[in-house]
Structure 1
Amino acid sequence: MLLAERLAADRPRPGRTRMALALLRPSLRAMRLAPLAGGVVVALALAVLPNAVGLTLSLPQAVLFLRGTAVALALGLAFVLDDPATATTEVLPVSARLRRLVRLAPVLVVAGAVWEISWLTMRQSTAGLPADLGWEGAGIAALTLAIAAWTSVGGVAAAPALLLLVLAAAFAPDAVAPFPAPRSPQWGETHVVWAVVTALAVIALGAAGDERNG
Structure 2
Amino acid sequence: MRRVNPPPVTSLLALTPFTLRVLPWRLLAVTAGPGPLLAAVPRVTDAAPSPWQTVSLLRAAALLYALGLAFVLDDPARHTTATVPTGRALRTWLRLALVAPLTVVWWAATLLAVPGEFRPPVGDVTLEAGAACAVALAGAAVAVRLSQASRPGRQVASAVLLTALLTPLFLPDDWPLFPAPGAPEWPPAHTHWTYILTTTTLILTRYTPERPPRRGRL
**TM-score, normalization by structure 1:** 0.83
1:175 Cα deviation from its structure 2 partner: 3.2
Tell me which residue corresponds to 1:82. Answer: 74
- Aligned residues between the structures: 198
Tell me which residue corresponds to 1:73. Answer: 65
- Write the distance in 2 (CA, Å) between the matches of 1:180 and 1:109: 29
- Write the distance in 2 (CA, Å) between the matches of 1:70 and 1:127: 15
Tell me which residue corresponds to 1:157. Answer: 155
1:32 corresponds to which of 24, 35, 39: 24
Specify the code of the residue in structure 1 equivalent to 2:12.
Answer: A
Do the aligned partners of 1:35 and 1:75 also contact (CA within 8 Å) in 2? no
Q: Deviations along 1:179-201, whole A, 9 cap, x unmatched?
A: 12222222111211211211221
Tell me which residue corresponds to 1:168. Answer: 166
Do the aligned partners of 2:111 and 2:119 also contact (CA within 8 Å) in 1? no
Task: From the superposition, tell whether residues 30 and 123 of structure 1 become closer, same or farther in structure 2 (CA, over 3 Å).
Answer: same
Task: From the superposition, tell whether residues 27 and 128 of structure 1 become closer, same or farther in structure 2 (CA, over 3 Å).
Answer: closer
Do the aligned partners of 2:55 and 2:120 also contact (CA within 8 Å) in 1? no
Tell me which residue corresponds to 1:4. Answer: none
1:16 corresponds to which of 8, 13, 16: 8
Do the aligned partners of 1:63 and 1:129 also contact (CA within 8 Å) in 2? no
Q: How does 1:130-149 map to 2 (within 5 A)?
A: 130-149=122-141
Q: Which runs of 5+ in 1 are unaligned?
A: 1-13
Tell me which residue corresponds to 2:179. Answer: 180
Specify the code of the residue in structure 2 equivalent to 1:42.
Answer: P
Between structure 1 and structure 2, the one with the greater Rg is: 2
- Write the distance in 2 (CA, Å) between the matches of 1:127 and 1:33: 28
Q: Deviations along 1:93-114, whole A, 9 cap, x unmatched?
A: 1121110011111212211221
- Write the distance in 2 (CA, Å) between the matches of 1:117 and 1:127: 13
Specify the code of the residue in structure 2 equivalent to 1:167.
Answer: L
Specify the code of the residue in structure 1 equivalent to 2:157.
Answer: A
- Write the distance in 1 (CA, Å) between the matches of 2:136 and 2:56: 19
1:86 Cα deviation from its structure 2 partner: 1.4
Do the aligned partners of 1:144 and 1:158 also contact (CA within 8 Å) in 2? yes
Tell me which residue corresponds to 2:204. Answer: 205
More helix by share: 1
**Percentage of pairs with the same residue:** 33
**TM-score, normalization by structure 2:** 0.82
Q: Which runs of 5+ in 2 are unaligned?
A: 1-5, 212-218
Report runs of 4+ in structure 1 exceeding 6 Å deviation: none
Q: Over aligned residues, Cα RMSD in angstroms?
A: 2.1
1:125 Cα deviation from its structure 2 partner: 4.1
**Mean CA deviation greater in 89-98 or 75-84:** 89-98
Task: From the superposition, tell whether residues 66 and 41 of structure 1 become closer, same or farther in structure 2 (CA, over 3 Å).
Answer: same
Do the aligned partners of 2:120 and 2:181 also contact (CA within 8 Å) in 1? no
